[in-house]
Amino acid sequence: MKKVILVLMFVLLIGGVMAHGEETFEEAEEIIIQKISCDELTENQLEVLGDYYMEQMHPGELHEIMDEKMGGEGSESLRQAHINMALAFYCGEHDEFSGSMMDVMMGRTEDNSYGMMGGYGMYGFNWFRIIIQLAVTTLLVLLIIWFIRKLNEKPKKRKRK
C-alpha cells in the first residue's frame, strides 16, 4: 500500500513540475509572439525567456543537467544565467556572455584575442613541437634540393675497354 501511495505521489509531483514548465514556456512563446521590447520586460520575464531558449538548445534531460551544473533549480546563479541568455538571444545583447564559462568553452576572452590555450592550439605552447617541426621542414627542404641536383646531374660516360 505504501508503495502505491509513493508511486502515486511521484506521478502527481512529476505532472505538476511538467505543467509548470509548460506554463512558463507558453508565457515565453507569448512574449516572443507579441515582440515585447526588452525595455518593457521584467527580470522574471527575462528569466522565463532564458529558460525557454535553454530548453530549445538543450531539450528535456539535457536541460535539467545544465540547470544542475549552473547551480540547480531556484539558485541565483541559474536565474542569472537564464536572464543573460534572454538578453543575448531575445534582446541581442551578446556582451552579456563576456567573461563567463561559455566564453571560455568557446575560446573567447574578454578582449576577444586568443583563446583558452593562449592561441597556441589544443596543447598550448610547446618548444619541443616547434623544434621537431623545424627539423622535419629542414629535412624535407634538403631532400628536395638533393633530388633536384640528382635530376640535373649529367650522366657520366663510361669508357669501353
On whether residue 17 sits in a domain, the answer given is yes
Q: What is the chain's Cα-based Rg?
A: 31
Span of 2-6, 13-17, 24-28 with lowest mean pLDDT: 13-17
On whether both 70 and 127 belong to a single domain, the answer is no
Is 135 inside any structural domain? yes
What local confidence, expressed as pLDDT, does residue 25 receive?
Answer: 79
| Separation of alpha carbons 38 and 50, rounded Å | 13
pLDDT digits (tens, 9 = 90+) for 34-56: 888 888 888 888 888 888 888 88
Say whether both 98 and 128 belong to one domain: no
Q: Residues 47, 24: contact at Cβ < 8 Å? A: no
Q: What's the whole-number mean pLDDT along residues 105-119?
A: 53
Q: Say how many Å lie between the first and final Cα of the chain, rounded.
A: 114
Are both 82 and 149 inside the same structural domain? Answer: no
Residue 17 has pLDDT above 70, yes or no: no
Residues 140-158: pLDDT tens digits?
A: 999 999 999 999 987 777 7
* Residue 96 belongs to some domain of the structure: yes
In a domain, 160, yes or no: no
Does residue 18 sit within a domain? yes
Within this chain, do residues 62 and 6 fall inside the same structural domain, yes or no? yes
- Do 92 and 149 lie in one domain? The reply is no
- Residue that is written with C-alpha cell 578582449 in the block: 111
79 and 140 fall within a common domain: no
Exposed/middle/buried for 24, CB within 10 Å: 0-12, 13-18, 19+? middle
Task: Answer yes or no: is 159 within a domain.
Answer: no
For residues 60 and 25, membership in a common domain is answered with yes
Q: Is residue 100 located within the same domain as residue 138?
A: no
pLDDT at 58 over 60: yes
Do both 97 and 138 map to the same domain?
no
Residue 149, pLDDT score: 94
More confident residue, 136 or 110: 136
**Which tens digit of pLDDT belongs to each residue from 64-86?**
888 888 888 888 888 888 888 88
Count structural domains, the chain.
2
The closest of 62, 65, 31, 61 to 48, measured between CA atoms, is: 31
Give the H or E element holding residue 49: helix 43-57
58-76 b/e (C-beta count within 10 Å ≥ 16 → b): eeeeebeeebeebeeeeee
Residues 67 and 131 in one domain: no
Domain annotation covers residue 161: no
DSSP characters over 87-132: HHHTS--GGGGTTSHHHHHHT--TTS-S-TTTTS-TT---HHHHHH
Domain of residue 8 covers 2-116
28 and 101 assigned to the same domain: yes
Residues 13, 49 within the same domain? yes
For residue 148, count other CB atoms closer than 10 A to its CB: 10
Higher pLDDT, residue 22 or 111: 22
More confident residue, 135 or 110: 135
